Amino acid sequence: MPYVKAQKSKAYFKRYQVKFKRRREGKTDYRARNRLINQDKNKYNTPKYRLVARFTNKDIVAQIIHASISGDIVLAAAYAHELPRYGLEVGLTNYAAAYCVGLLLARRTLKQLEMDAEYEGNVEATGEDFTVEPAETRRPFRALLDVGLIRTTTGNRVFGVLKGALDGGIDIPHSDKRFAGFNKDSKQLDPEVHRKYIYGGHVAAYMRNLMEDEPEKYQSHFSEYIKRSIEPDTIEGMYKKVHAAIRASPEAKKSEKAPPKEHKRYNLKKLSYEERKAKLIDRLKALNSAAGVDNDSDEDD
Amino acid sequence: MPAGHGLRSRTRDLFSRPFRKKGYIPLSTYLRTYKIGDYVDVKVNGAVHKGMPHKFYHGRTGRVWNVTKRAIGVEVNKQVGNRIIRKRIHVRVEHVQPSRCTEEFKLRKLKNDQLKAEAKARGEVISTKRQPEGPKPGFMVEGAMLETVTPIPYDVVNDLKGGY
Protein backbone atom coordinates (compact mmCIF):
# COMPACT_ATOMS: atom_id res chain seq x y z
CA MET A 1 0.00 0.00 0.00
CA PRO A 2 1.46 3.39 -0.92
CA TYR A 3 2.49 5.70 1.89
CA VAL A 4 -0.47 7.91 2.78
CA LYS A 5 0.31 11.09 4.67
CA ALA A 6 -1.58 11.11 7.95
CA GLN A 7 -4.34 13.69 7.68
CA LYS A 8 -4.87 14.45 11.32
CA SER A 9 -1.52 15.38 12.79
CA LYS A 10 -0.84 16.18 16.41
CA ALA A 11 -1.02 19.85 15.51
CA TYR A 12 -4.53 19.35 14.19
CA PHE A 13 -5.70 17.91 17.46
CA LYS A 14 -3.94 20.59 19.47
CA ARG A 15 -5.69 23.36 17.60
CA TYR A 16 -9.07 21.69 17.25
CA GLN A 17 -11.94 23.56 18.92
CA VAL A 18 -14.88 21.33 19.78
CA LYS A 19 -18.37 22.60 19.19
CA PHE A 20 -20.76 22.84 22.12
CA LYS A 21 -21.67 19.41 23.48
CA ARG A 22 -25.29 19.51 22.40
CA ARG A 23 -24.22 20.63 18.96
CA ARG A 24 -21.85 17.68 18.73
CA GLU A 25 -24.75 15.43 19.71
CA GLY A 26 -26.79 17.17 17.05
CA LYS A 27 -29.62 17.96 19.46
CA THR A 28 -29.63 21.75 19.85
CA ASP A 29 -29.69 24.54 17.31
CA TYR A 30 -27.91 27.29 19.22
CA ARG A 31 -28.79 30.00 16.76
CA ALA A 32 -32.49 29.37 17.34
CA ARG A 33 -32.01 28.80 21.06
CA ASN A 34 -30.24 32.12 21.44
CA ARG A 35 -33.13 33.98 19.89
CA LEU A 36 -35.75 32.07 21.86
CA ILE A 37 -34.16 32.55 25.25
CA ASN A 38 -32.92 36.11 25.10
CA GLN A 39 -35.12 38.20 27.40
CA ASP A 40 -35.16 41.98 27.36
CA LYS A 41 -32.90 43.22 30.10
CA ASN A 42 -35.48 45.71 31.30
CA LYS A 43 -37.78 42.77 32.01
CA TYR A 44 -35.20 41.45 34.49
CA ASN A 45 -36.14 38.04 35.82
CA THR A 46 -39.42 37.52 33.95
CA PRO A 47 -39.24 34.01 32.54
CA LYS A 48 -39.64 33.50 28.82
CA TYR A 49 -41.51 30.26 28.32
CA ARG A 50 -41.09 28.08 25.28
CA LEU A 51 -43.33 25.28 24.09
CA VAL A 52 -40.93 22.54 23.12
CA ALA A 53 -42.32 19.91 20.75
CA ARG A 54 -40.12 16.94 19.92
CA PHE A 55 -40.98 13.76 18.07
CA THR A 56 -39.35 10.39 18.47
CA ASN A 57 -40.16 7.31 16.47
CA LYS A 58 -42.85 6.17 18.89
CA ASP A 59 -43.56 9.12 21.16
CA ILE A 60 -44.30 12.82 21.25
CA VAL A 61 -42.80 15.07 23.92
CA ALA A 62 -44.30 18.48 24.62
CA GLN A 63 -42.93 20.63 27.45
CA ILE A 64 -43.19 24.19 28.69
CA ILE A 65 -39.69 25.25 29.63
CA HIS A 66 -37.95 28.40 30.75
CA ALA A 67 -34.19 28.87 30.80
CA SER A 68 -31.92 29.60 33.71
CA ILE A 69 -28.16 29.67 34.17
CA SER A 70 -28.08 26.43 36.15
CA GLY A 71 -30.25 24.68 33.56
CA ASP A 72 -33.62 24.87 31.92
CA ILE A 73 -36.62 24.39 34.17
CA VAL A 74 -39.65 22.45 32.95
CA LEU A 75 -42.95 23.89 34.10
CA ALA A 76 -45.17 21.14 32.70
CA ALA A 77 -44.80 18.24 30.31
CA ALA A 78 -47.10 16.00 28.28
CA TYR A 79 -46.21 12.83 26.44
CA ALA A 80 -48.04 10.76 23.83
CA HIS A 81 -47.58 7.66 25.96
CA GLU A 82 -49.99 9.25 28.47
CA LEU A 83 -52.80 9.27 25.91
CA PRO A 84 -53.94 5.68 26.62
CA ARG A 85 -55.14 7.09 29.95
CA TYR A 86 -57.60 9.25 28.00
CA GLY A 87 -58.74 6.54 25.63
CA LEU A 88 -56.32 6.80 22.70
CA GLU A 89 -54.23 3.69 22.29
CA VAL A 90 -53.14 3.57 18.66
CA GLY A 91 -51.57 6.04 16.28
CA LEU A 92 -49.67 7.82 19.03
CA THR A 93 -47.42 9.84 16.72
CA ASN A 94 -49.83 11.10 14.07
CA TYR A 95 -51.17 14.63 13.59
CA ALA A 96 -54.29 13.96 15.63
CA ALA A 97 -52.26 12.54 18.53
CA ALA A 98 -49.97 15.60 18.33
CA TYR A 99 -53.05 17.80 18.66
CA CYS A 100 -54.13 15.81 21.72
CA VAL A 101 -50.70 16.16 23.33
CA GLY A 102 -50.67 19.91 22.73
CA LEU A 103 -54.15 20.20 24.19
CA LEU A 104 -53.18 18.10 27.20
CA LEU A 105 -50.10 20.21 27.87
CA ALA A 106 -52.05 23.45 27.60
CA ARG A 107 -54.81 22.34 29.95
CA ARG A 108 -52.24 20.93 32.36
CA THR A 109 -50.22 24.15 32.59
CA LEU A 110 -53.33 26.31 32.91
CA LYS A 111 -54.64 24.08 35.65
CA GLN A 112 -51.28 24.23 37.41
CA LEU A 113 -51.33 28.03 37.25
CA GLU A 114 -55.03 28.10 38.17
CA MET A 115 -55.99 29.88 34.97
CA ASP A 116 -57.96 27.04 33.42
CA ALA A 117 -61.38 28.44 34.28
CA GLU A 118 -60.62 31.78 32.64
CA TYR A 119 -59.01 30.51 29.49
CA GLU A 120 -61.12 27.74 28.06
CA GLY A 121 -59.69 28.07 24.60
CA ASN A 122 -61.45 26.54 21.66
CA VAL A 123 -63.61 23.71 22.99
CA GLU A 124 -64.86 22.54 19.62
CA ALA A 125 -61.91 21.96 17.27
CA THR A 126 -62.95 23.49 13.96
CA GLY A 127 -59.57 23.83 12.30
CA GLU A 128 -59.90 27.58 11.99
CA ASP A 129 -57.17 29.87 13.23
CA PHE A 130 -57.90 30.56 16.89
CA THR A 131 -56.05 33.05 19.10
CA VAL A 132 -56.69 33.42 22.82
CA GLU A 133 -58.35 36.66 23.83
CA PRO A 134 -57.12 38.33 27.01
CA ALA A 135 -59.61 37.90 29.85
CA GLU A 136 -60.42 40.55 32.44
CA THR A 137 -58.24 39.60 35.38
CA ARG A 138 -55.07 38.03 34.02
CA ARG A 139 -53.28 38.17 30.72
CA PRO A 140 -53.05 34.84 28.91
CA PHE A 141 -50.10 32.48 29.43
CA ARG A 142 -47.63 33.19 26.69
CA ALA A 143 -45.16 30.73 25.24
CA LEU A 144 -43.03 30.57 22.10
CA LEU A 145 -42.93 27.50 19.90
CA ASP A 146 -39.58 25.72 19.83
CA VAL A 147 -39.47 23.21 16.98
CA GLY A 148 -35.90 22.06 17.43
CA LEU A 149 -34.17 20.79 14.34
CA ILE A 150 -37.10 19.75 12.15
CA ARG A 151 -37.86 21.26 8.80
CA THR A 152 -40.97 23.43 9.13
CA THR A 153 -43.05 22.33 6.20
CA THR A 154 -46.78 22.85 5.83
CA GLY A 155 -48.72 20.20 7.69
CA ASN A 156 -45.89 19.12 9.98
CA ARG A 157 -46.93 17.44 13.22
CA VAL A 158 -45.29 20.09 15.40
CA PHE A 159 -47.93 22.45 14.16
CA GLY A 160 -50.47 19.90 15.31
CA VAL A 161 -49.00 20.32 18.79
CA LEU A 162 -49.12 24.09 18.30
CA LYS A 163 -52.79 23.97 17.32
CA GLY A 164 -53.63 21.77 20.28
CA ALA A 165 -51.93 24.18 22.66
CA LEU A 166 -53.66 27.17 21.07
CA ASP A 167 -57.05 25.56 21.36
CA GLY A 168 -56.15 24.67 24.93
CA GLY A 169 -55.85 28.34 25.79
CA ILE A 170 -52.16 29.27 25.59
CA ASP A 171 -51.10 32.40 23.77
CA ILE A 172 -48.51 31.51 21.14
CA PRO A 173 -47.60 33.93 18.38
CA HIS A 174 -48.09 32.10 15.10
CA SER A 175 -49.42 32.30 11.58
CA ASP A 176 -51.63 29.79 9.84
CA LYS A 177 -49.23 29.43 6.92
CA ARG A 178 -47.88 26.05 8.10
CA PHE A 179 -51.04 24.35 9.28
CA ALA A 180 -52.21 21.32 7.35
CA GLY A 181 -54.67 22.54 4.78
CA PHE A 182 -53.01 25.82 3.93
CA ASN A 183 -53.27 26.42 0.23
CA LYS A 184 -50.11 27.93 -1.17
CA ASP A 185 -51.79 29.33 -4.29
CA SER A 186 -54.72 30.99 -2.65
CA LYS A 187 -52.61 31.82 0.45
CA GLN A 188 -55.47 30.79 2.71
CA LEU A 189 -56.01 28.15 5.32
CA ASP A 190 -58.81 25.71 4.48
CA PRO A 191 -60.31 25.00 7.90
CA GLU A 192 -62.15 21.91 6.62
CA VAL A 193 -58.94 20.17 5.65
CA HIS A 194 -57.28 21.16 8.90
CA ARG A 195 -60.24 19.86 10.87
CA LYS A 196 -59.99 16.60 8.96
CA TYR A 197 -56.36 16.20 10.06
CA ILE A 198 -57.12 17.09 13.68
CA TYR A 199 -59.70 14.31 13.84
CA GLY A 200 -57.54 11.78 12.03
CA GLY A 201 -59.48 12.08 8.80
CA HIS A 202 -56.38 11.44 6.74
CA VAL A 203 -55.77 8.18 8.58
CA ALA A 204 -59.40 7.16 8.05
CA ALA A 205 -59.15 7.91 4.33
CA TYR A 206 -56.04 5.75 4.01
CA MET A 207 -57.76 2.96 5.91
CA ARG A 208 -60.73 3.06 3.51
CA ASN A 209 -58.37 3.14 0.56
CA LEU A 210 -56.48 0.07 1.73
CA MET A 211 -59.60 -1.85 2.67
CA GLU A 212 -60.75 -1.59 -0.95
CA ASP A 213 -57.51 -2.00 -2.84
CA GLU A 214 -55.10 -4.06 -0.74
CA PRO A 215 -56.86 -5.91 2.08
CA GLU A 216 -53.73 -7.85 3.15
CA LYS A 217 -51.72 -4.66 3.55
CA TYR A 218 -54.62 -3.19 5.49
CA GLN A 219 -54.54 -6.19 7.82
CA SER A 220 -50.82 -5.87 8.44
CA HIS A 221 -50.55 -2.08 8.61
CA PHE A 222 -53.57 -1.34 10.77
CA SER A 223 -53.49 -4.57 12.78
CA GLU A 224 -53.62 -2.71 16.11
CA TYR A 225 -56.64 -0.73 14.96
CA ILE A 226 -58.39 -3.90 13.88
CA LYS A 227 -57.55 -5.58 17.19
CA ARG A 228 -59.35 -2.77 19.01
CA SER A 229 -62.12 -2.80 16.36
CA ILE A 230 -61.56 0.79 15.30
CA GLU A 231 -63.26 1.48 12.00
CA PRO A 232 -62.51 4.46 9.73
CA ASP A 233 -65.91 5.94 10.61
CA THR A 234 -65.42 5.68 14.36
CA ILE A 235 -62.07 7.49 14.38
CA GLU A 236 -63.53 10.98 14.59
CA GLY A 237 -65.82 10.03 17.46
CA MET A 238 -62.88 8.48 19.28
CA TYR A 239 -60.82 11.66 19.07
CA LYS A 240 -63.76 13.78 20.22
CA LYS A 241 -64.04 11.59 23.31
CA VAL A 242 -60.29 11.90 23.94
CA HIS A 243 -60.46 15.69 23.76
CA ALA A 244 -63.33 15.76 26.22
CA ALA A 245 -61.49 13.39 28.59
CA ILE A 246 -58.40 15.59 28.41
CA ARG A 247 -60.33 18.71 29.27
CA ALA A 248 -62.01 16.91 32.15
CA SER A 249 -58.87 15.83 34.02
CA PRO A 250 -55.58 17.10 32.62
CA GLU A 251 -53.43 16.83 35.71
CA ALA A 252 -50.37 14.57 35.59
CA LYS A 253 -50.44 11.25 37.37
CA LYS A 254 -47.39 10.25 39.37
CA SER A 255 -46.32 6.83 38.18
CA GLU A 256 -45.60 4.19 40.80
CA LYS A 257 -42.08 2.91 40.35
CA ALA A 258 -40.39 0.23 42.44
CA PRO A 259 -37.15 1.45 44.06
CA PRO A 260 -34.23 0.47 41.80
CA LYS A 261 -32.51 -2.83 42.55
CA GLU A 262 -29.04 -2.75 44.08
CA HIS A 263 -26.55 -3.95 41.49
CA LYS A 264 -23.25 -5.70 42.21
CA ARG A 265 -20.36 -3.28 41.81
CA TYR A 266 -17.89 -4.40 39.16
CA ASN A 267 -15.37 -1.59 39.43
CA LEU A 268 -13.70 -0.03 42.45
CA LYS A 269 -15.59 2.78 44.08
CA LYS A 270 -13.74 6.12 44.03
CA LEU A 271 -12.66 7.13 47.51
CA SER A 272 -13.61 10.46 49.00
CA TYR A 273 -11.04 13.07 50.04
CA GLU A 274 -11.20 12.08 53.72
CA GLU A 275 -10.88 8.40 52.87
CA ARG A 276 -7.81 9.04 50.73
CA LYS A 277 -6.18 11.17 53.42
CA ALA A 278 -6.87 8.52 56.06
CA LYS A 279 -5.38 5.86 53.79
CA LEU A 280 -2.22 7.96 53.37
CA ILE A 281 -1.86 8.42 57.14
CA ASP A 282 -2.24 4.68 57.70
CA ARG A 283 0.39 3.92 55.06
CA LEU A 284 2.86 6.38 56.58
CA LYS A 285 2.28 5.04 60.08
CA ALA A 286 2.91 1.51 58.84
CA LEU A 287 6.13 2.66 57.12
CA ASN A 288 7.32 4.45 60.25
CA SER A 289 6.65 1.54 62.56
CA ALA A 290 8.26 -0.89 60.08
CA ALA A 291 11.43 1.23 59.80
CA GLY A 292 11.49 1.51 63.57
CA VAL A 293 11.97 5.29 63.48
CA ASP A 294 9.95 7.48 65.76
CA ASN A 295 9.76 10.94 64.26
CA ASP A 296 9.09 14.09 66.22
CA SER A 297 7.05 15.79 63.60
CA ASP A 298 3.94 13.83 62.87
CA GLU A 299 3.03 13.19 59.26
CA ASP A 300 -0.65 13.91 59.50
CA ASP A 301 -1.63 17.56 59.19
CA MET B 1 0.37 55.64 4.22
CA PRO B 2 -0.10 56.81 7.80
CA ALA B 3 -1.53 54.49 10.44
CA GLY B 4 -5.01 55.93 10.93
CA HIS B 5 -6.81 56.36 14.23
CA GLY B 6 -10.22 54.83 13.54
CA LEU B 7 -12.60 53.61 16.17
CA ARG B 8 -11.18 50.10 16.31
CA SER B 9 -7.57 50.95 15.56
CA ARG B 10 -4.90 48.93 17.37
CA THR B 11 -7.42 46.37 18.55
CA ARG B 12 -6.17 43.39 16.56
CA ASP B 13 -5.28 41.40 19.63
CA LEU B 14 -7.43 43.17 22.16
CA PHE B 15 -10.70 42.29 20.51
CA SER B 16 -9.74 38.87 19.22
CA ARG B 17 -11.36 35.86 20.86
CA PRO B 18 -9.12 33.65 23.00
CA PHE B 19 -7.61 30.44 21.68
CA ARG B 20 -10.17 27.75 20.97
CA LYS B 21 -13.05 29.91 22.19
CA LYS B 22 -14.19 31.26 18.86
CA GLY B 23 -17.62 31.04 17.38
CA TYR B 24 -20.78 30.84 19.41
CA ILE B 25 -20.75 32.50 22.77
CA PRO B 26 -22.27 30.61 25.70
CA LEU B 27 -25.85 31.55 26.42
CA SER B 28 -25.37 32.31 30.11
CA THR B 29 -24.20 35.80 29.11
CA TYR B 30 -27.70 36.49 27.88
CA LEU B 31 -29.42 35.02 30.90
CA ARG B 32 -27.79 37.26 33.48
CA THR B 33 -29.80 40.17 34.84
CA TYR B 34 -28.34 43.50 35.86
CA LYS B 35 -29.90 46.01 38.21
CA ILE B 36 -29.18 49.72 38.44
CA GLY B 37 -26.32 50.27 40.86
CA ASP B 38 -24.55 46.98 40.19
CA TYR B 39 -20.85 47.03 39.44
CA VAL B 40 -19.88 45.52 36.09
CA ASP B 41 -16.66 44.92 34.22
CA VAL B 42 -16.55 45.94 30.58
CA LYS B 43 -14.88 43.24 28.51
CA VAL B 44 -15.35 43.38 24.78
CA ASN B 45 -16.48 40.21 23.02
CA GLY B 46 -15.12 40.40 19.49
CA ALA B 47 -17.67 37.91 18.20
CA VAL B 48 -20.54 40.37 18.61
CA HIS B 49 -20.14 43.52 16.57
CA LYS B 50 -23.13 45.46 17.82
CA GLY B 51 -23.03 47.57 20.92
CA MET B 52 -19.27 47.42 21.30
CA PRO B 53 -17.70 50.03 23.54
CA HIS B 54 -14.60 51.95 22.48
CA LYS B 55 -11.33 50.16 23.21
CA PHE B 56 -10.58 52.60 26.05
CA TYR B 57 -13.32 51.05 28.16
CA HIS B 58 -12.08 47.50 27.79
CA GLY B 59 -11.14 46.36 31.28
CA ARG B 60 -12.83 49.21 33.10
CA THR B 61 -15.31 48.72 35.88
CA GLY B 62 -18.31 50.93 36.34
CA ARG B 63 -21.81 51.10 37.77
CA VAL B 64 -25.02 50.42 35.92
CA TRP B 65 -27.18 53.49 35.49
CA ASN B 66 -29.62 52.31 32.83
CA VAL B 67 -31.09 49.06 31.59
CA THR B 68 -32.62 48.81 28.14
CA LYS B 69 -33.88 45.97 25.99
CA ARG B 70 -30.54 44.47 24.98
CA ALA B 71 -27.97 46.82 26.47
CA ILE B 72 -26.85 48.31 29.72
CA GLY B 73 -25.77 51.83 30.53
CA VAL B 74 -22.49 51.86 32.46
CA GLU B 75 -20.92 54.87 34.17
CA VAL B 76 -17.13 54.69 33.91
CA ASN B 77 -14.42 57.06 35.13
CA LYS B 78 -12.10 58.48 32.50
CA GLN B 79 -9.20 60.81 33.07
CA VAL B 80 -9.27 63.67 30.59
CA GLY B 81 -6.37 66.03 31.03
CA ASN B 82 -6.22 67.10 34.66
CA ARG B 83 -9.63 65.84 35.78
CA ILE B 84 -11.66 62.65 35.91
CA ILE B 85 -14.97 62.62 34.11
CA ARG B 86 -17.77 60.16 34.78
CA LYS B 87 -18.65 58.93 31.34
CA ARG B 88 -21.92 57.19 30.57
CA ILE B 89 -21.78 54.59 27.84
CA HIS B 90 -24.26 52.05 26.57
CA VAL B 91 -22.95 48.59 26.02
CA ARG B 92 -24.63 45.37 24.89
CA VAL B 93 -24.76 42.64 27.49
CA GLU B 94 -22.29 40.45 25.61
CA HIS B 95 -19.53 42.90 26.45
CA VAL B 96 -20.27 43.08 30.15
CA GLN B 97 -19.54 40.78 33.07
CA PRO B 98 -20.77 41.11 36.65
CA SER B 99 -17.93 42.48 38.72
CA ARG B 100 -16.64 40.73 41.78
CA CYS B 101 -15.08 43.84 43.27
CA THR B 102 -17.84 44.23 45.83
CA GLU B 103 -18.29 40.52 46.47
CA GLU B 104 -15.93 40.44 49.45
CA PHE B 105 -17.58 43.51 50.91
CA LYS B 106 -21.09 42.07 50.55
CA LEU B 107 -20.10 38.79 52.18
CA ARG B 108 -18.43 40.64 55.02
CA LYS B 109 -21.55 42.75 55.49
CA LEU B 110 -23.71 39.68 55.83
CA LYS B 111 -21.30 37.99 58.22
CA ASN B 112 -20.99 41.11 60.35
CA ASP B 113 -24.74 41.47 60.60
CA GLN B 114 -24.94 37.88 61.71
CA LEU B 115 -22.16 38.32 64.30
CA LYS B 116 -23.76 41.48 65.64
CA ALA B 117 -27.14 39.77 65.98
CA GLU B 118 -25.55 36.88 67.87
CA ALA B 119 -23.65 39.24 70.14
CA LYS B 120 -26.82 41.17 70.85
CA ALA B 121 -28.54 37.95 71.83
CA ARG B 122 -25.68 37.20 74.22
CA GLY B 123 -25.73 40.78 75.48
CA GLU B 124 -22.10 41.67 74.75
CA VAL B 125 -20.59 44.37 72.58
CA ILE B 126 -18.21 43.28 69.82
CA SER B 127 -16.25 45.21 67.25
CA THR B 128 -16.53 43.95 63.69
CA LYS B 129 -13.82 46.23 62.38
CA ARG B 130 -11.09 44.62 60.35
CA GLN B 131 -7.67 44.82 62.00
CA PRO B 132 -4.50 44.82 59.91
CA GLU B 133 -2.07 42.00 60.56
CA GLY B 134 0.22 42.93 63.44
CA PRO B 135 3.89 42.02 63.91
CA LYS B 136 4.57 38.33 64.53
CA PRO B 137 4.90 37.26 68.21
CA GLY B 138 8.33 36.40 69.59
CA PHE B 139 9.49 32.78 69.71
CA MET B 140 12.43 30.72 70.71
CA VAL B 141 14.45 29.19 67.91
CA GLU B 142 14.54 25.43 68.34
CA GLY B 143 16.76 22.72 66.98
CA ALA B 144 19.42 25.13 65.82
CA MET B 145 22.97 23.94 65.45
CA LEU B 146 25.80 26.40 65.68
CA GLU B 147 28.15 26.06 62.74
CA THR B 148 31.21 28.33 62.58
CA VAL B 149 32.22 29.13 59.06
CA THR B 150 35.88 30.11 58.46
CA PRO B 151 37.54 30.92 55.19
CA ILE B 152 39.81 28.26 53.65
CA PRO B 153 43.32 29.43 52.68
CA TYR B 154 43.64 30.08 48.93
CA ASP B 155 45.03 27.04 47.16
CA VAL B 156 46.70 28.34 43.99
CA VAL B 157 47.31 24.98 42.32
CA ASN B 158 43.76 23.56 42.50
CA ASP B 159 41.84 26.74 41.73
CA LEU B 160 43.91 27.78 38.74
CA LYS B 161 43.47 24.37 37.15
CA GLY B 162 39.74 24.91 37.00
CA GLY B 163 40.03 28.46 35.69
CA TYR B 164 42.25 27.90 32.59
CA angle A113, A118, A123 (to 5 degrees): 105
The answer to whether the Cβ–Cβ distance between A44 and B21 falls below 8 Å is no
For chain B, domains (ranges, CATH) are 14-98 (2.30.30.70)
Sorting pLDDT into bands at 50, 70 and 90, what band is A1? low
The answer to whether the Cβ–Cβ distance between B27 and A41 falls below 8 Å is no
The answer to whether the Cβ–Cβ distance between B30 and A40 falls below 8 Å is no
Which residue in A has a C-alpha nearest to residue B67's C-alpha?
A42
The answer to whether the Cβ–Cβ distance between A67 and B33 falls below 8 Å is no
* Residue A251 and residue A97 in contact, taking contact as beta carbons nearer than 8 Å: no
Q: Quote the pLDDT of residue B163.
A: 56
Q: Quote the pLDDT of residue A158.
A: 93
How large is the ipTM?
A: 0.73
Nearest to A167 by CA among A197, A204, A144, A198: A198
Q: Which residues contact A251 (CB under 8 A, 6 or more apart)?
A: A108, A111, A112
What are the chain A neighbours of B70 within 8 Å (beta carbons)? 38, 40-41
The answer to whether the Cβ–Cβ distance between B33 and A44 falls below 8 Å is yes
What are the chain A neighbours of B68 within 8 Å (beta carbons)? 41-42
- pLDDT tens, position by position, B83-138: 999 999 999 999 999 999 989 999 999 999 999 999 988 888 888 888 999 999 99
The answer to whether the Cβ–Cβ distance between A33 and B93 falls below 8 Å is no
CA angle A278, A282, A286 (to 5 degrees): 170
Q: Is the pLDDT of residue A123 over 90?
A: no
What are the chain A neighbours of B28 within 8 Å (beta carbons)? 69
The answer to whether the Cβ–Cβ distance between A41 and B20 falls below 8 Å is no
CA distance A260 to A191: 49
Of the listed ranges A40-49, A133-142, A144-153, A195-204, the least confidently predicted one is A133-142
Structural domain spans, chain A: 23-248
Q: Quote the pLDDT of residue A263.
A: 79
Q: Quote the pLDDT of residue B1.
A: 77
Is the domain A23-248 a CATH 3.30.565.10 member?
no
Identify the residue among A41, A42, A73, A295 best suited for mutation to test binding to B, counting B beta carbons within 10 A and taking the highest: A41
The answer to whether the Cβ–Cβ distance between B23 and A17 falls below 8 Å is yes
Rounded alpha-carbon distances, angstroms, from residue A155 to A102, A109, A164, A187, A232: 15, 25, 14, 14, 21
The answer to whether the Cβ–Cβ distance between A42 and B24 falls below 8 Å is no
Which residue in A has a C-alpha nearest to residue B92's C-alpha?
A41
Find the mean pLDDT for residues B42-54.
93
Q: Quote the pLDDT of residue A301.
A: 42
CA distance B75 to B65: 7
The answer to whether the Cβ–Cβ distance between A68 and B70 falls below 8 Å is no
Shortest Cα–Cα distance, B80 to chain A (Å):
31
Query: Pick from B22, B30, B68: which is nearest to A17 by CB?
Result: B22
What are the chain B neighbours of A38 within 8 Å (beta carbons)? 30, 70
Q: What is the mean pLDDT of chain A?
A: 88
What are the chain A neighbours of B69 within 8 Å (beta carbons)? 40-42
Query: Across the strands, what pairs with A183?
Result: A188
Which residue in B has a C-alpha nearest to residue A46's C-alpha?
B33
The answer to whether the Cβ–Cβ distance between A42 and B69 falls below 8 Å is yes
Q: How many Cβ contacts (< 8 angstroms) between chains A and B?
A: 47
The answer to whether the Cβ–Cβ distance between B31 and A15 falls below 8 Å is no
CA distance A179 to A189: 7
* Residue A82 and residue A100 in contact, taking contact as beta carbons nearer than 8 Å: no
* Residue A103 and residue A96 in contact, taking contact as beta carbons nearer than 8 Å: no
Identify the residue among B19, B21, B24, B45 best suited for mutation to test binding to A, counting A beta carbons within 10 A and taking the highest: B24
Find the mean pLDDT for residues A98-112.
93
- pLDDT tens, position by position, A14-23: 999 999 999 9
Q: Quote the pLDDT of residue A96.
A: 93
State the sign of the Cα–Cα–Cα–Cα dihedral A269, A275, A276, A279: negative
pTM: 0.79
